[in-house]
A = this chain, B = another copy of it.
Amino acid sequence: MKVSVRSKSDGRKEILDAAAVAFMEYGFAGTSIDMVAEVLGSTKGKIYYHFKSKTSLFLDVHRETMTTYIEAVEEVAKGPGTPLDKLSGILTTLATQVMERLPYAKVAVEGVDMHMSRSTTPEQRAVLREIIDLRDRGEAILVRIIEDGIEQGLLRPCNPRLIVKPMLGALNWMTVWYRPRPQDTPESRKALADTLVNYLLNGIVAPADGRASA
């Protein structure tokens, strides 16, 4: 017995997934709606029934990514632990998300610095604003945690607004070199995330004393 309340969002979700895969492969401008339809296993009629335009589709994929990110970030931020624990947890979560949802992650990376100056309707600009707000909210949370960590003497004094850039950049850059392999498991992904996060927190210069590095 199919329930109709799910039918609409399911149709959209499948299209978003297919679009993410296609956009990941060829980029926004390089992907045609026909290519998305081919990934989806249908024709573009279906896509244009659910989405107003290619730009809207791309923006919705991007927003979906950012929403998932912010939810994960806020969950860790609200949880227990020191600022250092939270910082570590957030970075690990994000690294894992990138690996597990690579197509969506790649769309977010391309969307970040896409100037949609041309061909943006007021409605699309509203979605773009939403996306930017989600990103700013996430960055603000990180900045706040770093500030707390510095205050508590857990982190080096630094300019948190500047430091989050390379931190998040290093994670986003995973979309460039990380490729899922058949032998990948949640554990192996976790190990990779831990390695990266450990580097991002502790750097690479050897400590002068015997402080543990892990």
Residues of chain A touching chain B, judged by Cβ–Cβ distance below 8 Å, are 25-30, 84, 112-115, 146, 153-159, 162-163, 165-177, 192, 195-196, 199-209, 211, 213
A206 contacts B173, CB within 8 Å? Answer: no
A173 contacts B162, CB within 8 Å? Answer: no
A205 contacts B84, CB within 8 Å? Answer: yes
Sorted from nearest, which 6 A-B pairs have the closest CB atoms? A169-B173, A203-B203, A29-B29, A166-B170, A29-B30, A202-B203
Kindly list chain B residues whose C-beta atoms are within 8 Å of the C-beta of A26.
Answer: 29, 115
B172 contacts A173, CB within 8 Å? Answer: yes
Cα A205 to Cα B156 with chains together (Å)? 6
Kindly list chain B residues whose C-beta atoms are within 8 Å of the C-beta of A165.
Answer: 170, 173-174, 177, 196
Kindly list chain B residues whose C-beta atoms are within 8 Å of the C-beta of A115.
Answer: 25-26
B173 contacts A204, CB within 8 Å? Answer: no
Kindly list chain B residues whose C-beta atoms are within 8 Å of the C-beta of A114.
Answer: 27
A213 contacts B176, CB within 8 Å? Answer: no
Q: Which of B159, B196, B205, B207 contacts A166 (CB 8 A)?
A: B196
Kindly list chain B residues whose C-beta atoms are within 8 Å of the C-beta of A112.
Answer: 176
Cα A204 to Cα B159 with chains together (Å)? 11
Q: Which of B146, B192, B203 contacts A200 (CB 8 A)?
A: B203
